[in-house]
Chain A
Amino acid sequence: MKIAVCVKRVPDSEARIKIDASGKAIDEGGVKFVLNPYEEFAVEEALKLKEAAGSGEVVVISAGSDASQETIRTALAMGADRGVLLKTDHIPLDPLPVAKALAAELAEGGYDLIFFGKLAIDDYSHGIGPMVAELLSLPCVSAIAALQIANGKGKAEREIEGGVEVVEFPLPAVLTTDKGLNEPRYPALRGIMLAKKKPLDVKDVALETGGLDVLSLSYPPERKAGRIVGEGAAAVPALVDALKNEAKVL
């Protein structure tokens, strides 16, 4: 079983984000970057499949700046076999150019499965996985929360509004992973040492800008202070009135 996992370097969800001087990007200074949490599920699932099969290869691929090597090493420390960095200074907002670069790298790889996180927590575009599937003419199941692979076929579960959807698909296929799929392992200390010696190919790529551009970034509006409408049972009518007519939630 040969598996590719595409990963992205993203700011930690707890990082305090500042907009840079251009007003169109975030200031990366002092911000901690991590492996996109949805792709931790992807790496874990790939490792579990390889371990269950008893053989195979897990290749971690990332498009991004040189710093993304660190992100790839994190996945290697968890147990992936080798990494590929498609090195580019700028990741455009439009997912299509990134998807094209990844598809070009994946096309000749002979992968049985290609994993993505269902979204990257920085831009929330959800786009790259399905785009890559389309470019490679492969079936795609997005946001999977359970997975079984047997006899060249796969069965995945997706949590949809009010229920679970079960999808069967042939291999090779593209899958994007959701929370609940598994419990990602911690990289072991030994894994970190071993990861340093694992191969990591760095390939320069030039990405098109694509059809989207960032005009400006702004902070979310500050939350307004709360208001106390009164105390005890007597305050109930005023509260109901405020919820109905001001907040419009009733």
Chain B
Amino acid sequence: MIDIPYLTDQQHQVREIARGFAEREIRPVARDLDREARFPWATVKQMGELGFMGAPWPVELEGAGMDYLSYVIVVEELARVDASHSITVSAHTTLGTSPIVNFGTEEQKQRFVPLLASGRVLGGFGLTEPGAGSDAGGTQTVAVEKGDHYVLTGSKIFITHAGVGEIFVVTARTDPTSARSGRGITSFIVTKDTVDVDTCTAVGIGHAPDLPKTPGVKAAKKEDKLGWRASDTRELILQEAIVPKENVLGEPGMGFVNFLKTLDDGRIGVGALSLGLAQGALDECLKYTAERQQFGRPIASFQAVHFALADMATEIEAARHLVYYAGWLRQNGKPYKKAAAMAKLFASELATRATIKAVQLHGGYGYTTEYPVERMMRDAKVGEIGEGTSEIQRIVIARELLGDVVAVTG
């Protein structure tokens, strides 16, 4: 067990709960979920009951009322066993729920957050578009004001939970004169029915029939992905969606500023996820190399293997403290943009390296689904892409270092 002197007893206890749950409930099903690309409703329900779906949100809003590092530890520990479960929690919490907690009116919080924080309904964040990925300010989705509502038209792609979820924060351009710039983008809360109504009704979570749904919002085809296969990624279509003005989130025109803050949070989440993946890969290697015999002895007795394990462990430790540091800064109200970008950049690139190494140390067995390391390797790569690519993280970090000297885009 990881024992870190600067964590509180409560944070250690949270780790134990998350690790115990992941080992007992997720490990036995992770391989099949990945192969079948099936969303794990049963374990998501349990995660809701345990408070994982709203760990950092106030108890009054049906969150668990935990500190931010406790949340980070939950995301890390889930990814140690299965990255899909981890991204489900992270995307739901930091992308889906946090904008409403951070920028919502009291009335919006009361209306949406308890459903989300308790895990009764899944949430997501629709920012990326076919023409606006790294260049998120290039949003083409338009929102036209009509009396007491807006009409939204556009397409959001690669949206986590677009299919399974019911509550989404989406961005759209409210000021057409400011095309291709961050100004004039507004955030909206939209709702739709989950695509899994029958399963949800059977399992008892995921669908809120009483929640009014936004006409014109629907999910399209599910992406067939390399990794995070048990997580739901789809296009979210806004087809003349009629969104009442009470669902405008934050100040009109402030959408760009707000989602940059949401992405900072998301980056700590992806950092924690990547850290957990790398730790999981190391743990698999420690077990396997001690058991696997070649040339009459365990392969862990070869010095080349020592070096690989030592490098992995050292980099993981470095990543862990970067991620926790970013979480600590956020928790204590300090600026954390640069730390979050560094944590995500370093941890996600490490996860790719460490999981590739893990497959290597497992030899041919590692290349089969008999061992989890091939799945970990596939799951790691997207950490370098989602919520801002590694290149974008470097741009963010350089901009923080250099200030406005570098007028780079991204």
Known: A186-B20, A186-B21, A189-B70. A70 touches B51 (CB 8 A): no
Shortest beta-carbon distance from A245 to chain B in Å: 31
B interface footprint on A72-110 (CB within 8 Å = 1, 0 otherwise): 001001000000000000000000000000000000000
CB-CB under 8 A from B182, the residues of chain A are: none
Chain A 143-162 residues near chain B, CB threshold 8 A? none
CB-CB under 8 A from B52, the residues of chain A are: 189
Bound CA span A159–B246, Å: 62
Report if A188 contacts B (CB, 8 A): yes
Bound CA span A32–B21, Å: 19
Q: Are A188 and B64 in contact (CB under 8 A)?
A: yes
Q: Are B64 and A190 in contact (CB under 8 A)?
A: yes
CB-CB under 8 A from A186, the residues of chain B are: 17, 20-21, 50
Give the total of B residues in contact with A, Cβ under 8 Å. 20
Q: Which of B6-14, B201-209, B231-239, B283-291 contacts A (4 or more CB under 8 A)?
A: B6-14
Q: Give the nearest-CB partner of B52 in chain A.
A: A189
Known: A32-B1, A70-B9. A189 touches B14 (CB 8 A): yes
Shortest beta-carbon distance from A171 to chain B in Å: 31
Known: A32-B1, A70-B9, A192-B10. A187 touches B17 (CB 8 A): yes
Q: Give the nearest-CB partner of B63 in chain A.
A: A190
Give the total of A residues in contact with B, Cβ under 8 Å. 13
Q: Are A190 and B59 in contact (CB under 8 A)?
A: yes
Among A70, A74, A188, A194, contact of B50 (Cβ-Cβ < 8 Å): A188
Report if A166 contacts B (CB, 8 A): no
Residue from B1, B13, B59 with most neighbouring chain A CB atoms (10 Å) = B13
Shortest beta-carbon distance from A83 to chain B in Å: 16
CB-CB under 8 A from B26, the residues of chain A are: none
Report if A193 contacts B (CB, 8 A): yes
Chain A 173-200 residues near chain B, CB threshold 8 A? 186-194
Bound CA span A189–B51, Å: 5
Bound CA span A82–B370, Å: 47
Residue from A77, A190, A191, A194 with most neighbouring chain B CB atoms (10 Å) = A190
Bound CA span A90–B241, Å: 69
Chain B 26-77 residues near chain A, CB threshold 8 A? 49-52, 55, 59, 63-66, 70, 74
Q: Are B65 and A190 in contact (CB under 8 A)?
A: yes
CB-CB under 8 A from A189, the residues of chain B are: 14, 17, 50-52, 55, 64, 66, 70, 74
Known: A186-B20, A186-B21, A186-B50. A192 touches B1 (CB 8 A): no
Apart from A74-B13, A186-B50, A189-B17, list 18 A-B contacts with CB within 8 A.
A186-B20, A187-B13, A188-B50, A189-B50, A189-B64, A189-B66, A189-B70, A190-B59, A190-B65, A192-B10, A192-B13, A192-B14, A192-B64, A192-B66, A193-B59, A193-B64, A193-B66, A194-B59
List the 9 closest pairs (A to B, CB-CB), nearest first. Answer: A189-B51, A189-B64, A190-B51, A193-B65, A190-B64, A188-B51, A188-B50, A186-B17, A189-B66
Show 29 A/B contacts (Cβ-Cβ < 8 Å), sorted by A.
A74-B13, A77-B13, A186-B17, A186-B20, A186-B21, A186-B50, A187-B17, A188-B49, A188-B50, A188-B51, A188-B64, A189-B17, A189-B50, A189-B51, A189-B52, A189-B64, A189-B70, A189-B74, A190-B51, A190-B63, A190-B64, A190-B65, A191-B51, A192-B10, A192-B14, A192-B66, A193-B59, A193-B65, A194-B59
